[in-house]
Amino acid sequence: MATLATLLRSRRATGKGSSETALRSSRIALFALLSAGWVSWVSVSAAPKTATMDSLDWPTYLGNKARNLYSPLRQINRKNVSQLQVAWTYDTGDKGEYQANNLIIEGVLYTASPKRNVIALDAETGKELWKWNPDSERPGSGGGRQRGLVFWENESGGEKRLFTAAGNHLYALDPGTGQPVRSFGDNGSIHLGTGLDVEGTPSVGLNTPGVTYRDMLILGGVGGPGAVRAFDVRTGKRRWIFHLIPRPGELGYDTWPPEAYKTATGLMPWSGQSLDEKRGIVYIATKTAEPDFYGGARHGQNLFANSLVALDAATGRRLWHYQIVHHDLLDKDLPCPPILLTVVHEGKKVDAVAQGTKHGRLFVFNRVTGVPLWPIEERPEPSSELRGEEASPTQPYPSKPAPLMRQRYTEADVSTISEEAHSNTLARIRLSPNFGPFPAPSLRETVMFPGFDGGMEWGGGAADPRGIYYVNINEIPWLFQMVEIRRSDGSAVPRGEQDYMAFCAPCHGLDRTGNPQGGFPTLIDVANRKTRDQLSLLLKQGAGRMPAFDALTDDQRNAILNYILGVEPASTGRRDEASTAAVPPHSAPPYTFSGFRRWLDAEGYPAIKPPWGPLNAVDLNTGELKWTVPLGEYAKLKERGIPPTGTENYGGPVVTAGGLIFIGATSDETMRAFDQDTGTVLWQAKLPYGGNATPSTYMVHGRQYVVISAGGGKSGRPSGGSIVAFALPVSTPSPQKKSDLKE
């Protein structure tokens, strides 16, 4: 095992050169090695005190490329965390779903605001250093839900890039100034729809940052035909592509209809990637094929949808894969990046990869061979009654770990919050029963539990060097129903209404009344709020939770606007059916989803017996649950004497060598620190808005900070755009001690 002192000596032995670059490279290297458990903590106390001892960066999304959300910092620990206080705050001036996991590099914090502005702050004080607005390049091309940035620096120092996305474009910025690097792509950016080996330039966005390997940026995306690509960090040119919808002659081609690769969409791995940099393996978690809820035009298992895929990071060559959901009809995207960790399995050390799911199951594999650590069995599932649909007859279930949430809503799970809630939820579950995690899509309403937002969500989990995995879960029921989009006499719905149902209704509802709880506004009176030109621009460029639909034709956009605004289209002398027939079959299936609807009681609480949001610790050496505790609480229920219920939660945990788990995520605008061994809350502090982001932790000049983006906007909560940094009082910090880390 390497020692810190050895590493420091090797850096000093390089002689003259860029000392700042050397120090920064040491910090990043040490962070990676400590996270992986390859550097002995004994060596820390023996090493001479240098800049690398009193500063430690958070240089990549989720802390490191293993995406394990682990920090070796332990200045803040079980003994002193109760003294944690606000060190500084910063208001971005934006409002929205602020989900950025912030980067900290050489004392500078980089964030992507709710409106996708990129901001650099002094990480000690929160003072703004620079701010870049994507409108300066392409007006109106922003959006929301950006979970982070990518930083790259070449090994010899000097060249640096900061990558961000807005609309359909990926930008390379100079980290020192925030200005676009004009030598990248087309004057500083590339269109994310290029290099997909399809006709035209599809609409593709990016909400979760990619990962760098050598001089390449490996990306997924949102929208488009399904692919993983690597781009040259200097030029923006594509270096390789892996087709997630296989072409003729490629593995998995026979799991789709023969022409599917020409028309099918989805599969883009939006939740992020992890990287075993030593071995040069990148791990990809993919999404559902589209349309999400009807697969009649995509019969088969649909590789590589809903799959964990290991690729050679240098070439994009497939090494192994495992499909976690076959022929998905329920929007069960793999919601979080794979986590790399090391465990002791059957007496031997195993480098593993763990993948969480929306149905609260955890799949764990040998990361080199793809062999599951515990057996996975195929269990039968119900068939679909929808015409043309062929649901998969089985789905995979791991034998270990046990599911981290309830897998079925029964009458024993009806709400216990009040007599009224109990009575009403009992009546509803009898009318709309739950059929477990894989109900066959039906015209009859069912309770969807586990729900559409998890189980596990995009925040994912964290893992420490002991092989303990920590993850927050949602246990919120939803309502699920399909509807026909052809009339009862067999005639087709007019084009504008059909396109609305296919592209807009899942969020804004079939009746256009929206879903305020989910953040989707009503469109009934939209003409009173926006002009037709504004709506047309919104459809083309997207905003907030709405993606850019610039791949739609002008005729499609106009037809949708006519329907929304109640305008009769000019007659062409042809029947509506002829107009509808012009829409490609894959964009207008015979059924559509009735919309995302949480099932809440009359008071607005989840219509199920708590817990509604647990935090779990799982020992992946044994596959056994270590502990589970509620995450979050509602003040009004607490006043009524109801124990903590947990709340709906978005954003992940950070685990540190100080024996702590830091997490915001909850609907009660609170940041908490839990004891890793017991799940006991050791500290908590109110946030200005919900911390629906994953925290970061770093050290600058001997002081450790924990920082979180607080924007709220989820679960019907208020929204803003603040960053809050916590630290111990200046008189409290003490040197890191090995005794603070329980191994």
Quick one: pLDDT at residue 592?
84
Write the CA distances from 720 to 299, 443, 691, integer angstroms.
Answer: 44, 39, 10
Q: Percent of the chain, pLDDT > 90?
A: 71
Read off the pLDDT of residues 141-151 as tens digits, 9 standing for 90 and up: 777 789 999 99
Which of 212-221, 514-523, 647-656 is least confident? 514-523
Chain length of the chain: 743
As a whole number, mean pLDDT of residues 203-225 equals 95
Read off the pLDDT of residues 61-73 as tens digits, 9 standing for 90 and up: 999 999 999 999 9
Taken in order 402, 404, 408, 413, the sign of the CA dihedral is: positive
Provide the pLDDT confidence category of residue 513 given band limits of 50, 70 and 90.
confident
In the chain, CATH 1.10.760.10 sits at: 486-588
Nearest to 142 by CA among 119, 118, 121: 118
Structure tokens at 376: 């996975």
Quick one: pLDDT at residue 662?
99
| pTM beyond cutoff 0.95 | no
**Range 486-588: architecture per CATH:** Orthogonal Bundle (1.10)
Q: How far is CA 227 from the centre of its chain?
A: 17
As a dihedral over the C-alpha atoms of residue 292, residue 295, residue 300, residue 302, rounded to 10 degrees, the angle is -20
As a dihedral over the C-alpha atoms of residue 257, residue 258, residue 263, residue 265, rounded to 10 degrees, the angle is 50
Is residue 465 scored above 70 in pLDDT? yes
- Residues 352, 358, 362, CA angle at the centre, nearest 5°? 25
DSSP conformation letters of 550-562: TTS-HHHHHHHHH
Quick one: pLDDT at residue 594?
83
As a whole number, mean pLDDT of residues 163-183 equals 97
Q: Do the beta carbons of residue 366 and residue 489 sit within 8 Å?
A: no
Is residue 686 scored above 90 in pLDDT? yes
Between CA 96 and CA 544 the distance in angstroms is 7
The yes or no reply on domain 55-191+613-743 and CATH 3.40.50.1370 is no
Is residue 742 scored above 80 in pLDDT? no
Q: Comparing 134 with 444, which gets the higher pLDDT?
A: 134
Read off the pLDDT of residues 273-325 as tens digits, 9 standing for 90 and up: 999 999 999 999 999 999 899 999 999 999 999 999 999 999 999 999 999 99
Quote the mean pLDDT of the chain. 88
Per-residue burial over 373-390, b if 16 or more Cβ lie within 10 Å, else e, is: beebeeeebeebebeebe
Provide the pLDDT confidence category of residue 137 given band limits of 50, 70 and 90.
very high
Run of H or E residues at 420: helix 419-431
In the chain, CATH 2.140.10.10 sits at: 55-191+613-743
Between CA 493 and CA 501 the distance in angstroms is 10
